[in-house]
Each structure stands twice: as structure tokens, then as C-alpha cells.
Amino acid sequence: MITAGVDAGLRNIKILILDGGKIAAKGIAPSGGAGRAKAIEKLWEETLSSSGLRKGDVSKVVATGEGKNDVLFADKLVTEPIADARAAKFLLPTAKSVVDAGAAKTRVVTIGKDSNIEEVVLNQKCMGGLGLLLEVIADRLGWDLDEMARAKAGETVVNDGCPVFAELDALEALNKGASREDVAGAVTEAVAVRLHSILYDKVGVSKDATVFIGGLAKNGAAVNALQKRIGANFTIPDDPEYGTALGAAVIAAD
């Protein structure tokens, strides 16, 4: 059985196709803003083409994400926490919680018996845009996100309470002669501090049974700093930005 999940996020669209429980194809593209429906359709056709599939080969499509209503060819719509939980159980059958940290939002879902969702916690307003902060600073430094992830914190410190203030502090530090690595490390550490406040102080996460998905999971430095703070050992899939789309595809297969 071939199914597909579409995660229409704020910044990017992610599509993942499953064939018999194995990933057959995936694709990612900018959301397209007001033209998101057209951007989704275009990416859908490109993803199908890359796998040698036709639309008729796909039995069911499930859409999720903030722009899920723009997925005009979807058979079903689901909320992001449900897709997150299904992805977590697919990746780690013993998963008790899942963290989804993207460009704009951070979400923690705790999973109970029979894969039922026990609790969902979203970031507070001041914590929004953590993933975007890393992208902005990387651009300012002339680095890519992989280079950001390799940077180590030094003496530079930036605000860890608000991404906007963190960005201002980072730019001020650069103007005063701080090295790019110092600034990148400081911003990454600040991101870890903010993630910690929702992952641990508010709901807690299972230290050995938590799946981490979303684009921010690709930043090894932030993830490592966070794991040290809470003593956790996250399960992170390859290409974690496709996590929610994977969950939608799994739901479609059900």
C-alpha cells in the first residue's frame, strides 16, 4: 500500500511517500505564502515524478500543518500533535514523548497507553521562532546551518529569553569584534536554554524514550546542549524535518 503525508508548514512544505512501510520518496519546498496551494501541488508532482509514481498509485493522502487546508488533494486532515505522535511510535515503538521544533514553533507531545496523547504543550510567544533565529544568524555570519551546528560557545553571551533580543545581542557582539564562532555558539546555547524551559520545566520528557523531530533537530550543537541539561538521549531520525509528514503518511496507511 502506498500512502503520502503532506506537512504544510509556515516556512516549508514537506511531502513523504510510504510504500509498504518504507520511505519511497520525499520532497521539500518553500511554502509559497499566498500561493501555498499551488506550491503544494507543484511539489506533489515533483515528488511523485522523482519516485516514478503516478497520482493513481497513491491510495491515500493525509495532510497536516498550519496550511493543511491548502492541500486540495488530501483525503484527510489531521492536527500536528496527532501526526507527531504517530511518527514517534513509527520511529521508536517505545516512545513516550515527542518534541517537534521547527522554524516557528516548538511542540511537546506526551504519549500514553495505546498511543493515546496525554498532553500537548506549545511554546509561549516569547519562545516562537527559535529555528528561524538560527537561520537568521547563520545568514548574518555567512555560514550554513551545518557550520552553525559545529560552533562552540565561548565568552559571548546573548539573551536566552527572547529570540528578538538574542538576535540584537548577537549583532552587537559582532560589531564589537566577537568571533563568528563565539556568536554562533552563544546563539545555539541560548536556543538550548529556551527549549529546556518547555521540555523539562513545563511537562518533562522521557529521558530515554523521546523522539526529536523538526528542522531544529538537525542542529547537533543545540541538541547536545539540551541533552546535557536534562540528561536525555533523544532518538533523532535521518532528515528530522520530515517527521510530521511521516506521521501523516503512517496515519494514511492505517
Residues 131 and 219 in one domain: yes
Look up the domain containing 181 and give its range: 94-234
Residues 99 and 184 in one domain: yes
Query: What per-residue confidence (pLDDT) applies to 128?
Result: 54
Domain total in the chain: 2
Query: What per-residue confidence (pLDDT) applies to 222?
Result: 84
DSSP of 63-127: EESTTGGG-TT-SEE--HHHHHHHHHHHH-TT--EEEEE-SS-EEEEEE-GGG-EEEEEE--GGG
Give the span between the Cα atoms of 217 and 37, in whole angstroms.
27
Query: What per-residue confidence (pLDDT) applies to 188?
Result: 85
Query: What per-residue confidence (pLDDT) applies to 117?
Result: 92
Residues 99 and 206 in one domain: yes
Residues 14 and 138 in one domain: no
List residues bridging with 210 in a β-sheet. Answer: 97
Query: What per-residue confidence (pLDDT) applies to 105?
Result: 81
Q: Who contacts 116 (Cβ-Cβ below 8 Å, separation ≥6)?
A: none
Is the Cβ–Cβ distance between 252 and 76 less than 8 Å? yes
Residues 136 and 161 in one domain: yes
Query: What per-residue confidence (pLDDT) applies to 203?
Result: 55
Residues 186 and 142 in one domain: yes
Query: What per-residue confidence (pLDDT) applies to 92?
Result: 96
In tens, the pLDDT along 46-92 reads 999 999 999 999 999 999 999 999 999 999 999 999 999 999 999 99
pTM of this prediction?
Answer: 0.87
Query: What per-residue confidence (pLDDT) applies to 125?
Result: 53
Phi first, then psi: what are they for 26, rounded to 5°? Answer: -155, 155
Give the span between the Cα atoms of 8 and 39, in whole angstroms.
10
Cα Rg of the chain, angstroms: 18
Grid cell of 121 as nine digits = 504543550
Residues 17 and 49 in one domain: yes
Give the span between the Cα atoms of 206 and 98, in whole angstroms.
9
Full pLDDT tens readout for the chain, 254 residues: 999 999 999 889 999 999 999 999 999 999 988 899 999 999 999 999 999 999 999 999 999 999 999 999 999 999 999 999 999 999 999 999 999 988 778 888 999 887 889 988 886 555 557 777 888 888 889 998 788 878 877 888 888 777 788 889 999 999 999 999 999 988 888 888 878 877 765 555 777 899 999 988 988 888 888 888 888 889 999 999 999 999 999 999 99
Give the span between the Cα atoms of 150 and 116, in whole angstroms.
37
CATH code of residue 214: 3.30.420.40
Residue 44 DSSP one-character state: H
Residues 135 and 225 in one domain: yes
Is the Cβ–Cβ distance between 145 and 223 less than 8 Å? no
**What are the C-alpha distances in Å from 66 to residues 3, 35, 36, 92, 144?**
21, 14, 11, 25, 26
Query: What per-residue confidence (pLDDT) applies to 169?
Result: 92
Residues 105 and 190 in one domain: yes
